[in-house]
Amino acid sequence: MQRIVVIGGVAAGPSAAAKARRCAEKADIKLFERGPNISYAGCALPYYVSGIVKDRRKMLVVTPEEFRARHNVDLRVQHEAVAVDPAARQVTVRDLVQGKEEVFPYDALILATGASPFVPPIPGAKLPNIFTLRTVPDADRIREMIATKEPKHAVVVGAGLIGLEMVEALEERGIQVALVELFEHVLPPLDADMAYLVEKKLRKKGVRVVTGDAVTEFVGDEQGVRVVRTRNGLELAAELVIMSVGVRPNVELAVQAGVALGANGTIAVNERMETNVPGIYAAGDCAESYNIITGEKVWSPLGSVANKQGRTAGANAAGGEARFGGVTGSLISRIWDLSLGCTGLSEREARQRGLDVEVIHVHPTNLAGVFPGAQALAVKVIADRRSGRLLGGQVVGGIGTDKRLDVMATALKGQLTVDELFDIDYAYAPPFSPAKDPVAVAGIVTSNVLKGDVHSITASELWEWIKRGDDLVLLDVRTPKEYQHERIADAVNVELDALRERIGELDAGKNTVVYCRQGLRGFLAARILQQCGFEQVSNLSGGMLSWPYQVEKGPVSDQKAAQVGERGEPAP
């Protein structure tokens, strides 16, 4: 009888054991989990804290009893594997309740030991009321503290997925929250221009957002934390702190067994989830993945990835020939009614790898414009300039954000070009999408730029031009009313529909940057100017909706709004 031992529960371990059973009905399968639960909804923990998920029982995906009955697995919770002997193919397991140890032989061993929250060695980090959130008992302790102590102020350290979701959870419980992030913007997997939209939402909700800063000390007493101090001299009131600065893979058992680690500190595996040690597999948050875009080994500690890796490891441990298909780095989250996510390479990652990329922003609506509730989505596309291949995408908006990210993730898996994004036969009806789906719009806009129909410039590139004092004309082609309300400093206004008759007022020899609200009118204006002898014309990608920098607001003189002067400069 084949003997398969799985170490670790939650996502990868149960997936591995269940798949192994489906492949080998007669095998002896044992699963050991050191915690009290075999599988729980880890990614839903912030929603349990907030009260959106009210029933604790729903947090438990399957009970140990249910799993044993369904899959005929010798499942033992509160049992910790403490040693592996690869030569003898044995695992030593400690019963954490009785304190006894027992040795179990194996033919195939699957390490699904997961990851643990990382808490930096900050003075005061062990004060009461400083929590991490990884398990259901963690969430129970946070809920109990809120119910009994009724904190008024909290600090969340780390603005990743869990950090952002915990900000919402605490705010929903009536707690004033400050968010501290070491990186220059929240949600570091996003680029700064897209994270800016998230930060606007947080501030609108009353969250104090502190970026580019680090916590240096927690101050309090035996009753708990009181103040959080930062490197930049801030003192933030806090009776509750959530540490969400990341996790570290649990690889101690693997290292003890002679299993090799990858460059990122996780267990090195191949596409079959095999390690360098015969008979030992690894899956989940302790194991590495590979990026299908770059081919690089990466770490992707997400429940979705863990389930797929566990399934692959379980099939192969039972004698199968399964392959793990890699990742694109897809992630998504939600704060209040704003969804945000990305897939593939960010602009920052692409440029760090020396790739020649085109970056485009568009703001189409998620539903048909005529349909109630239609809202603009902010869509960012990163594409290879030479091949036109899609390299990455980011979306921030409301309903339908997930759909567009999933389409782009599928396109990345299929190595589609931006032209092919437009060719996809999207499901269309007004309650679900415009006739031109936002991903199709992003694809055709990017394609137009790559074909040379227009030169596109991102907000960050234009901002650098402005700061350097480059000699250029900023041409606002929106209506005078829009221009009066808000505009880029020193821009002049010629409405698109009047551009042809007033084109003689512009200097064709000037470097001209046109912009509108979201990019379409700017594109049309750029095409007009290019075909009328203007050789240096750029369209601001995404228009004012993608402009996070300084603006002028309020009334302007009629003369400035209506004239550009002989040399393309604002009239005096």
43 is catalytic: yes
Residue 88: count other Cβ atoms within 10 Å of its Cβ.
Answer: 10
Task: Evaluate the CA torsion angle 276, 282, 283, 287 in order and state its sign.
Answer: negative
Q: Which amino acid is at 177?
A: V
In this structure, the strands spanning 176-181 and 208-211 are parallel
The candidate with the shortest Cα–Cα distance to 541, out of 421, 406, 409, 448, is 448
Query: Residue 356 burial by CB count (10 A; 0-12/13-18/19+): exposed, middle or buried?
Result: exposed
Strand ranges (DSSP E) for 112-175? 115-117, 130-131, 153-157
| DSSP reduced 3-state for 264 | coil
- E strand or H helix that includes residue 457: strand 455-457
Contact 542, 361 (CB under 8 A): yes
Contact 176, 156 (CB under 8 A): no
- Helix-strand-coil percent breakdown of the chain, rounded to 5? 30, 30, 40
Residues forming a β-bridge with 32: 7, 76
Calpha distance 143→137 (Å, rounded):
10
Cα dihedral 67/71/73/77 (nearest 10): -10
Token digits of residue 370: 């005529």
DSSP conformation letters of 78-130: SEEEEEEETTTTEEEEEETTT--EEEEE-SEEEE---EEE-----TTTTSTTE
Residue 76: phi, psi to the nearest 5? -130, 110
Q: What is the phi/psi pair of residue 477, to 5°?
A: -105, 20
- 23, 43, 286, 516: the catalytic one is 43
Closest CA to 426 of 445, 446, 412, 406: 406
The C-alpha atoms of residue 532 and residue 530 are separated, in whole angstroms, by 5
DSSP label at residue 22: H
**511 beta partners:** 472
Residue 268 DSSP code: P
Phi-psi region of 60 (alpha: psi -120 to 50; beta: other; left: phi over 0): beta
Give the catalytic positions in this structure: 43
